[in-house]
Chains A and B, each alone.
Chain A
Amino acid sequence: MSEVKPLSAEEKKRLLRERRAAKMAGGNATGRLNNILNQGSSVQTEATSVLDKENDTTSSTISTGVETSSTPRSTSIPIHHDDDPEIQDITSFSPTPEPEKVLASSEDIDAMFNKIFSGAQIPTGPDGPGGEDPFAQMLKMLGQPNGAGAGAGLGGMPEDLFNSQGNPFELNEEENQYQRELAAYNLYNHKKWKFRFLIIRFFLIFSNFFYHYITIPTFKASSYSFIRGIANTDSSITTTSFITYFTTIELITIVSYYLTSVKYDLFKTTTENNIFVKIISFGSMVLPQLEQYRPLLVRLLAYYELLEVILTDLSLVIVLFGLLSFL
């Protein structure tokens, strides 16, 4: 028995070529091509085989009539139909996503994470890459004309802090500098008037106290309770004179201080930095109704400052009585 030799690769290639050539020689190349192209496809093509295009010898591209995404873009069809293509480029047929799409999706994920964790890396509008932190966004909400912070500016901030669009974040450095200097000046001015009034009050109270302490022998505090039993028998001494003078001094200084504060807007610095005013500013974002209590709170704070004047003066009287109670 003769042994059947396995075909070599070259021989296989040759046989395939001969079979293909025989088929092509049989004609009806276009029919066979359309049969192959229309199998399992909803797209009906009317392609013409290059073999049937006798005149067109230069073009080797198959025209399908309909451009599909699966059409090979870089596959070179050999001019000589019986040769195998030199390079079998099948990459374009593979269903792998395009690199641009992969990149875009990864960027989307990054952007999503940035949005979640920092919220400051995503461009947010015409200003370019947004550096808006949550605090800035809260302030922006406050500054909205119809929003929670409507009307009275931004949490006690002056109206001129905003630009024409009502946006406090587009202020230039010069404006910021001016506002800082103005705040420092207001604070200094407030302290200056407080200092002046304090000197006057202390001087008057000291004078009133020591005048009575020196002239009236019973005008003395003591560590011992017997002092409460000593009644003033001298009819020439008016026991109410001390409190009368004290009340007069208080009334005059408080009214003067109030008028001065109103004139120079001194209460503004007290209320601006107050914790309760700030709480109302932030709380009004959640509960806009809180905003209506702001004027009331500002007024109460102004009155509290006046009350503090009285308390300080009474404290001075107590301290003087106490320190001189060694009898």
Chain B
Amino acid sequence: MLDWIDLQPYTLLVSTFLILAFQQVINQVGKSTIQELVWSLYMAIGSKLNLTNSFKEYSTKQIEIVDLNKQKRLISAQDQYAKWTKLNRQVDKLTAELTQLKETISKDKSSVNSFVSLSIMLITTAPLWFFRLWFRKSILFYLPPQYLPYALEWVFSIPFFPLGSVGLTVWTFAVKQVISSIIFLSSFPFQAPVGKPVKKEKVEEVK
């Protein structure tokens, strides 16, 4: 039934590498940044794909409210009381509608955020846990003999693999270390340099 899950060791190795790389990149970028990005995308594309009309309605109503307020300012509340009241009522109605739309949009945003969180979890964390459970006894690869000392080969075969082989535990650790180093190497040059601060000496008053 689950034959399709019987991955080749190299496929498993590369999949783990890619998942861990993706996870590290997400950690580096930040989940909140990704959520904001997806929300902006949803706002831009959502209306066009008819996923939601809230943004379109919201912007239309906002324009209307600005227009009505402009008209209200142009007339005198004392001289044209009836017209002014009518406009005021329209503004009140639109404001209430806008508030309702705002609530709908914030609900949309929270659902988008939860969707993003769930997606990240499904892409990065869940497969790793599945691999650890399903392929806990799988050997990913064998090291060439004689080139590494016994002690190293023993360490690489932790926790219970045959000598000279590497399992998922060591592979995951190694990939994490290397990818975080690569991310550091690629991000540090873009960091703004910090100069050495100069301490201002206190000048004592000479009496």
Contacts and interface: CB of A to CB of B under 8 A. Distances in A.
Contact of A231 (B17, B146, B149, B178): B146
Q: In the complex, which range does the number of interface residues on chain A fall in?
A: 35 or more
B199 interface: yes
A252 interface: no
A318 B170 contact: yes
A265 interface: no
Interface in A231-278: 231-232, 239-240, 242-243
Contacts of B197: 178, 181-182, 185
Given A230-B144, A321-B166, 11 more contacts: A181-B194, A191-B188, A222-B141, A223-B13, A225-B165, A311-B177, A312-B177, A318-B156, A322-B13, A325-B13, A325-B141
A323 B166 contact: no
A136 interface: no
A30 to B, nearest CB: 74
B171 interface: yes
Given A188-B191, A188-B194, A322 B144 contact: no
A22 B26 CA distance: 110
6 contacts: A178-B197, A185-B195, A223-B10, A232-B146, A239-B147, A316-B181
A318 B174 contact: yes
A315 interface: yes
Contacts of B165: 225
Interface in A178-220: 178, 181-182, 184-185, 187-189, 191-192, 194-195, 198-199, 202, 212, 218-220
B145 A230 contact: yes
Q: In the complex, which range does the number of interface residues on chain B fall in?
A: 35 or more
B9 interface: yes
A117 interface: no
Interface SS of chain B: helix, strand, loop or mixed? mixed
Interface centre among B8, B143, B184 (most CB of A within 10 A): B143
A322 B178 contact: no
Nearest to B200: A174
B193 interface: yes
A319 interface: yes
A319 B178 CA distance: 8
Given A191-B191, A315-B177, A326-B10, A227 B196 contact: no
A228 interface: yes
B178 A316 contact: yes
A290 interface: no
B185 A195 contact: yes
Nearest to A308: B177
Contacts of B17: 319, 322-323
A224 interface: yes
B9 A223 contact: yes
